[in-house]
Structure 1
Amino acid sequence: MSSNTHSSASTKRSVTAPGFTLGVSEDRNKRCRRTMEDAHAYITDFHGVPRQGFFAIFDGHAGKSTAEWCGANFHKTLLHCLEKNAETPVPEVLNLTFLEADRQVNQKEGKFSGCTAVVAYVQVKDKKRMLYTGNVGDARAVLSRQGKAVRLSYDHKGSDAKEAKRITDLGGFMMNHRVNGVLAVTRSLGDSVMKEFVVGNPYTTETELGNGDDFLILACDGLWDVCDDQEAVNLIKDVMDPQEASRKLLEHALANFSTDNLTIMVIRFTE
């Protein structure tokens, strides 16, 4: 099983494994940010099965400790939950995994910091490959299907009317699109003092991968603040090297004055 977790140094070359090639680019964005609070992780041959994979980005706030804990540990929690709930549909297992990771991180790191998360799990099942995603906050997953961008995540932000209503129904308040005037995201891992309102329940999707599914982009909001889904797909659809593709998206975000840390992962699906 090949694995990697990172919080600062960028992968310079594409990673190739059965079923995937992938590249990751990241940048602190020194014009705007003093520290890098993102972390990411990927594991090929996940659970010892060729062509399975785990890919994730964690965008920290109020410090990097929650994001770094997730980068090092979230996949272990997912494996445990998959083994413990073998007969449960995977989207439900993803929900359990997010909640368990949230519980674990809030015992320590989450008292002081939090993170958004976007996670993709590719499972081999009866010769098919299923793509499962889960996210909290505004890190995003975008699939390129025959050149069209398909969003597989949901932006949990204070500017979203449904999320704002959920917060106020629970007794919280929104100020300047921020939960209780503090947090711009309405769901996260960590943030234990806000947990009554800022829950860890993810938005999940299930997609059967087919011939037209070329690649998946996972990225924190530093990209999506300055680039829409289809634009991102168009920028890299002809770039076969996913490391080069991730770098191109990062440079596009910097050129368009993104003000956040940047982490971008591009996963190309192969046979």
Structure 2
Amino acid sequence: MSSVPSSPINTIDYFSVVTIFSSSTTVINRHLFLMCRCGHFAIYDGHGGRLAAEFAKKHLHLNVLSSGLPRELVSLQLLSRPFLVDPNLRLLLQMDLKVAKKAILDGFRKTDKLLLQESVSGLTFVYGSGGWQDGATAVCVWIVDQKVFIANIGDAKAVLARSSTTDKSGNHNTEECNPLKAIVLTREHKAIYPQERSRIQKSGGVVSSNGRLQGRLEVSRAFGDRQFKKFGVIATPDIHAFELTERENFMILGCDGLWEVSS
């Protein structure tokens, strides 16, 4: 397997920042959270080769932006004071969140569609008429103002470290050493899981006794994997959003290689 961290995007309103400790891990610390007006962080974990991971690394973020990811959201500080807020502001925030999630969803689907087209038409001089058939899982984070969006396909995970205590005023207490709680923000997509297995079986696929699709592929959602698409492999991500507070310390993005070793 190969893991490809996201690279910086040269745009005015959006940028990517990554801290790399290994090829399979990205750590987003509190300083990076605070820097972001809109930031992008990601791990792309390839299987069967690097081409799908490289393609997703190059295209996904731009496809999400072109699909309409908002450049800013309604002020969450205002919304924390409901007695001062026009109800229309709350409606606008709800609309912003829906637009953001739809942009991420559309960006994933567009990237997979383009990747599949490229896998057939591109690089045939190297791989012959069959093209290339590798795939890639992904875990991605977008930070827009004070809102964090996490999207994943496959078995890469995002884990958030959050302080478990606050001071009397309700704020994060930085004067004391507070224990951190690890919160898993993503759900794995493997062929053996009931919801994923059901979709695979409806598509005519088989989950073998080893828990793999057609006896070969463990994950049930991924970019690429052209030969398994007809058996129910999709690139539709789970998308989760939460608001940044003083309790968030850092987040770790990692592929299955990291979590299998550390768990």
Q: Shared topology, TM-score over 0.5? A: yes
* Change beyond 3 A, Cα 1:216–1:182: same
The residue aligned with 2:223 is 189
State the superposition RMSD in angstroms.
Answer: 3.1
The residue aligned with 1:89 is 99
- 2:136 is the counterpart of 1:119: no
* Change beyond 3 A, Cα 1:88–1:207: closer
Q: By how many angstroms is 1:140 displaced?
A: 0.5
The percentage of counterpart residues that share the same residue type is: 31
Number of residue pairs matched by the alignment: 194
In 1, Cα distance between equivalents of 2:4 and 2:229: 28
In 2, Cα distance between equivalents of 1:149 and 1:20: 24
Q: Which is strand-richer, 1 or 2?
A: 1
Q: By how many angstroms is 1:137 displaced?
A: 0.3
In 2, Cα distance between equivalents of 1:39 and 1:218: 6
In 1, Cα distance between equivalents of 2:220 and 2:242: 25
The residue aligned with 2:90 is none
Q: By how many angstroms is 1:170 displaced?
A: 2.3
- 2:199 is the counterpart of 1:170: no
CA contact (8 A) 1:143 1:216 kept: yes
- 2:230 is the counterpart of 1:201: no
- 2:62 is the counterpart of 1:76: yes
* Change beyond 3 A, Cα 1:135–1:50: closer
TM-score, normalization by structure 1: 0.64
CA contact (8 A) 1:39 1:71 kept: no
Gap runs ≥5 in structure 1:
1-5, 12-18, 28-37, 43-48, 229-271
Gap runs ≥5 in structure 2:
8-14, 29-34, 71-94, 121-131, 164-179
The residue aligned with 1:134 is 151
CA contact (8 A) 1:39 1:68 kept: no
In 2, Cα distance between equivalents of 1:39 and 1:216: 11
The residue aligned with 1:53 is 39
* Change beyond 3 A, Cα 1:190–1:39: farther
Q: Which is helix-richer, 1 or 2?
A: 2
CA contact (8 A) 2:69 2:99 kept: no
- Map 1:213-224 onto structure 2 (within 5 A): 213-224=248-259
CA contact (8 A) 2:158 2:184 kept: yes
TM-score, normalization by structure 2: 0.66
Q: By how many angstroms is 1:94 displaced?
A: 1.3
Q: By how many angstroms is 1:227 displaced?
A: 2.2
CA contact (8 A) 2:4 2:43 kept: no
